[in-house]
Structure 1
């Protein structure tokens, strides 16, 4: 009950423009934003990416913004990604997928009624082709549970020409273990996360330990499959399990990776990279940072404690 009340308050805060103005001007908030969001523009994204690469970390860039309901706005997002990929290529950051991009289909027009899926597909196709030219990859973020089937359909069509397009699956959904089996194929890149969006679907797990157990079951499927698992978690136990599973099935270090959010456990990120793990940092940037940050706190109450601990510790 307390968690639900927290979520309701935070979600309301994410839509409050007056509160945003106050928060944006607070020195403490600026420090928080700088740690967890790369900045508002491409220059910031490239600067942070270059810094992370110098530490031996891989990067996926997410241009903040979603739920676009105007086709022109969706095209603007598409063009912004194409421009970003061109700049990454020009400075050598895109080589071998060292810095890739993560894309939300809702930002590319998925919510545009009956034509939304096809609009999002065509916009995503342009981004994927630009990534191919740049020498890097694209991962389709998973959003609200109601869009899973649509997102997987778009993924299938994009993979017809570019089989390396990445998928994201959420262990909080009961269906995900089966989806992992379908996607654990040669060349398939799959990011497994717990799920930042809190679904109301009766087929979703709503107890933390059930989500964790689902995560491990899904991880076993991916590690035993022929694809490329991307383990997105800050949970030390799940990270240890992932490393143990990789050893047990004889995976080479180059055949899977760990992923964490920018600013969360940064010293652990560099420690794991120093051990030879492929460690990728999810780097959000853009003008819509306020709603992103507040929703991250609301979507999973544990995020609030996690972010607060991260501010007080470099571990």
Structure 2
């Protein structure tokens, strides 16, 4: 069943995530937006900060993502920067300034900061990300640069390298299904970087990515071993029980304490498991997205796990019965 989902359902769902027609239709249906709340707890900073408060009170760390990607003009990129600066002001008021891993973080997509603009896109994204990192440093919040499809990887990692020269605490995301990622893990682990390792959420061709479920899992575990052996701070971004079960053994093998790495999971997915791991003294960070541009993010979540799609279809059917 998982292989059938990966071969048939996942590519179709990911294709839907890129459809403007389906996006407009979904955004007009109130019942859909109510179901989306399971994964995206609001469209405004005020709404997401309520979720941040609840998660922090439960002992979990938080990474907040202002949804948006592939902006087409500089004004939209500037609006994204403004949104992050306001969010950082609000997060800074919590006073989480303890030494060591920062409990609060924001996640950035460089395409939302202008990376794909036809003129000087990479330069504009770098400058915008620098502005956000400087603000984050001032208020005691971390920043992690998200990964997008494989065509952006070289540009993204180039920008990350340049930013880390000033902000050595800056993290980035590497996707284990890409064939290049073992080499990228070795480079960034040797440099002492924070790396969020995920499986990958885009429909990539076999020429650049592993496609089979077992292949991706094997690549993830090999990449994680490289990160655990390195000088950096691994961030294990996975809901896969097989991967989570392997982490304690790798941590012992490479003499890492619970303070030397963290688990990461998405808001609304495996909440009980998040609480279990945190209750055992582990660092657990929850990735919390917010904003009006929820469609692409939400549909990619449906493509990641059969359980997510089942939840969505069941909840949608129940809500339609009630209206």
Deviation, 1:15, is 3.8
Question: 5+ unaligned residues in a row in structure 1: which ranges?
Answer: none
How many positions carry a matched residue from both structures?
Answer: 307
Does 2:42 correspond to 1:36? no
The correspondence for 1:10, drawn from 5, 16, 24, is 16
Q: Determine helix, strand or coil for the equivalent of 2:211.
A: coil
Match of 1:219 in 2: 224
Q: TM-score, normalised by structure 2?
A: 0.89
The correspondence for 2:81, drawn from 78, 83, 94, is 78
Hey, what's the Cα distance between the residues in 2 that align with 1:239 and 1:4? 23
RMSD: 2.1
CA contact (8 A) 2:194 2:235 kept: yes
CA contact (8 A) 1:39 1:286 kept: yes
CA contact (8 A) 2:13 2:299 kept: no
Does 2:243 correspond to 1:238? yes
CA contact (8 A) 1:155 1:167 kept: yes
The correspondence for 1:55, drawn from 55, 58, 64, is 58
CA contact (8 A) 2:73 2:114 kept: yes
Match of 2:319 in 1: none
Identify if the C-alpha distance between structure 1 residues 38 and 4 changes in structure 2 by more than 3 Å, giving closer, same or farther: closer
Match of 2:91 in 1: 88
Per-residue CA distance 1:15-55 (angstroms, 9 max, x = gap)? 425522453x11xx344222211200100111100100000
The correspondence for 1:125, drawn from 125, 130, 133, is 130
Question: 5+ unaligned residues in a row in structure 2: which ranges?
Answer: 1-6, 315-323
Match of 1:287 in 2: 292
Deviation, 1:201, is 5.6
Deviation, 1:290, is 2.5
CA contact (8 A) 2:11 2:203 kept: no
Identify if the C-alpha distance between structure 1 residues 15 and 201 changes in structure 2 by more than 3 Å, giving closer, same or farther: farther
Hey, what's the Cα distance between the residues in 1 that align with 2:233 and 2:15? 38
Identify if the C-alpha distance between structure 1 residues 9 and 135 changes in structure 2 by more than 3 Å, giving closer, same or farther: closer
The correspondence for 1:260, drawn from 265, 274, 278, is 265
Does 2:108 correspond to 1:106? no
Q: Determine helix, strand or coil for the equivalent of 2:288.
A: strand
Per-residue CA distance 1:77-114 (angstroms, 9 max, x = gap)? 01110111011112325665211100000000000124
Identify if the C-alpha distance between structure 1 residues 306 and 129 changes in structure 2 by more than 3 Å, giving closer, same or farther: same
Deviation, 1:305, is 2.6
CA contact (8 A) 1:189 1:230 kept: yes
Please identify runs of 4+ aligned residues in structure 1 that moved more than 6 A. Answer: none
Q: TM-score, normalised by structure 1?
A: 0.91
Q: Determine helix, strand or coil for the equivalent of 1:102.
A: strand
Hey, what's the Cα distance between the residues in 2 that align with 1:242 and 1:74? 38
